[in-house]
Structure 1
Amino acid sequence: MQDYRQYRPIDFISDESFRAWVLENSEDDAAFWEQWMLLNTDKRADILESKGILLSIYKAFENVGDTEVNFELERLNAQLDESEAQQKVFRWPWPKFFYAAASLLLVVGFFWLNRSREASQQIENRIALAQGTTLKWITKENTTEQQMTVNLEDGSTIILQKNSKILYPEKFEKEQRKVILIGEAFFEVAKNPSRPFFVFADKLVTKVLGTSFLIQANEADKTVKVVVKTGKVSVFENTESNLDEHTNHKKLEGLVLTPNQQVVFDETDKRMVRSLVDSPNLLKVPIQNQVFEFNNVPISEVFKALEKAYGINIVYDAEVMKNCYLTASLDDEPLFEKLNLICKTLDAKYEQVDAQIVIYSNGCY
Structure 2
Amino acid sequence: MQDYRNLEPEELAADSSFQRWKLAGDPVVSAFWNEWLLQNPDQKEQVEKAHFLLTAISSQTEQRISEQVQLSDREIEREISQLYKSLDRQKPEPVRWLQFTPVRYGMAASLLILLGLFGWYVLKPMNTKRDVTYNELVAQVTSPLDEVKNTTDKPLVVSLPDQSSILLYPKSRISYPRQFLGTRREVYLAGEAFFKVSKNPSRPFYVYANSLVTKVLGTSFMVQTNETAKQVKVVVKTGKVSVYAQDQAASTSKKEDYKLGGTVLTPNQQVVFSEKDTRLVRSLVNEPALLQKEAHRQSFTFKRTPIADVFAALEKAYSIDIVFDEEAMKNCYLTASLADEPLFDKLALICHTINASYDQLDTYIVIDSKGCK
For the 8 Å contact 1:186–1:215, the answer to whether it is kept is: yes
- Tell me, in whole angstroms, the C-alpha distance in 2 between the residues paired with 1:311 and 1:149: 28
Q: 1:274 to 1:122 in 2, by over 3 A?
A: closer
- Tell me, in whole angstroms, the C-alpha distance in 2 between the residues paired with 1:357 and 1:327: 21
Which among 268, 273, 276 is matched to residue 276 of structure 2? 268
- Tell me, in whole angstroms, the C-alpha distance in 2 between the residues paired with 1:349 and 1:292: 19
Q: Is 1:242 the equivalent of 2:249?
A: yes
Between the two proteins, what is the percent identity of the paired residues?
A: 55
Q: Is 1:317 the equivalent of 2:328?
A: no
Q: 1:247 to 1:154 in 2, by over 3 A?
A: farther
- Structure 1 outlier segments of 4+, above 3 Å: 121-132
Match runs of 1:35-50 below 5 Å: none
Q: CA deviation at 1:248?
A: 5.0
Q: CA deviation at 1:245?
A: 2.0
Q: Give the letter aligned to residue 222 of structure 1.
A: K
Which among 150, 153, 156 is matched to residue 161 of structure 2? 153
SS at match of 1:289: coil
**Residue equivalent to 1:337:** 345
For the 8 Å contact 2:242–2:264, the answer to whether it is kept is: yes
| Cα deviation digits, residues 149-188 of structure 1 (max 9, x gap) | 1100001100100100101011112200100000000000
| Cα deviation digits, residues 6-37 of structure 1 (max 9, x gap) | xxxxxxxxxxxxxxxxxxxxxxxxxxxxxxxx
Q: 1:302 to 1:223 in 2, by over 3 A?
A: same
**TM-score when scaled to structure 2?**
0.62
- Tell me, in whole angstroms, the C-alpha distance in 1 between the residues paired with 2:278 and 2:233: 13
**Residue equivalent to 1:353:** 361
Q: Number of aligned residue pairs: give it.
A: 246
**Residue equivalent to 1:168:** 176
- Tell me, in whole angstroms, the C-alpha distance in 2 between the residues paired with 1:136 and 1:235: 26
Indicate the structure (1 or 2) with the bigger Cα radius of gyration: 1
- Tell me, in whole angstroms, the C-alpha distance in 1 between the residues paired with 2:286 and 2:178: 36
- Which stretch shows the higher mean deviation, 248-257 or 205-214? 248-257
Which among 172, 185, 204 is matched to residue 193 of structure 2? 185
| Cα deviation digits, residues 164-221 of structure 1 (max 9, x gap) | 0101011112200100000000000010000010000011110000000001000011
Q: Which structure carries more relative contact order (alpha carbon 8 Å, separation 6+)?
A: 2
| Cα deviation digits, residues 257-296 of structure 1 (max 9, x gap) | 0001111111112111111111111101146412111000
Q: Give the letter aligned to residue 249 of structure 1.
A: E
Q: CA deviation at 1:130?
A: 11
Which among 293, 297, 300 is matched to residue 285 of structure 1? 293
- Tell me, in whole angstroms, the C-alpha distance in 2 between the residues paired with 1:194 and 1:337: 41
Q: CA deviation at 1:122?
A: 4.9
SS at match of 2:193: strand
Q: CA deviation at 1:253?
A: 1.7
SS at match of 2:310: helix
Unaligned runs of 5+ in 1: 1-118
Q: 1:321 to 1:174 in 2, by over 3 A?
A: same
Q: 1:280 to 1:336 in 2, by over 3 A?
A: same
For the 8 Å contact 1:188–1:212, the answer to whether it is kept is: yes
SS at match of 2:292: coil
**Residue equivalent to 1:232:** 240
- Tell me, in whole angstroms, the C-alpha distance in 2 between the residues paired with 1:184 and 1:277: 17
Q: Is 1:221 the equivalent of 2:229?
A: yes
| Cα deviation digits, residues 136-159 of structure 1 (max 9, x gap) | 211111011111111000011001
For the 8 Å contact 1:287–1:308, the answer to whether it is kept is: no
SS at match of 2:288: coil
Match runs of 1:51-90 below 5 Å: none
Q: Give the letter aligned to residue 288 of structure 2.
A: P
Unaligned runs of 5+ in 2: 1-125
Q: 1:201 to 1:131 in 2, by over 3 A?
A: closer
**Residue equivalent to 2:265:** 257
**TM-score when scaled to structure 1?**
0.63
SS at match of 1:213: strand
For the 8 Å contact 2:131–2:275, the answer to whether it is kept is: no
Q: CA deviation at 1:242?
A: 2.6
SS at match of 2:189: strand
- Tell me, in whole angstroms, the C-alpha distance in 2 between the residues paired with 1:266 and 1:190: 29
Q: 1:179 to 1:229 in 2, by over 3 A?
A: same
Q: Is 1:194 the equivalent of 2:202?
A: yes
- Tell me, in whole angstroms, the C-alpha distance in 2 between the residues paired with 1:247 and 1:130: 24
Which among 293, 296, 299 is matched to residue 307 of structure 2? 299
